[in-house]
Amino acid sequence: MGVRISINYTGRVQGVGFRWRVSQIAKSFSCTGYVKNLMDGSVELLVEGKKEEAYRMVESVNIQMKEFWHNKTVDERAGDAHFSKFTIKY
């Protein structure tokens, strides 16, 4: 069984290429899920995969995108993947 990590990033995260850059970061990891803009101006990231790999991806996003986000909330749950790849949701 893997892990599903849901993160909501707030800050200057929309209109700056945040989703595209996260999708490029995801290509380096064996994770599935999505990144999408929310109506409140935040961005939701859902990462699924083996725990160590998923946390490595999240850490990479946190570091590479740190200039844009100011706060984040994280929810982790055990579970199998629901997605077959990583995508940008619109």
Q: Please give the positions annotated as active site.
A: 19, 37
Backbone angles phi, psi at 77, to 5 degrees: -140, 145
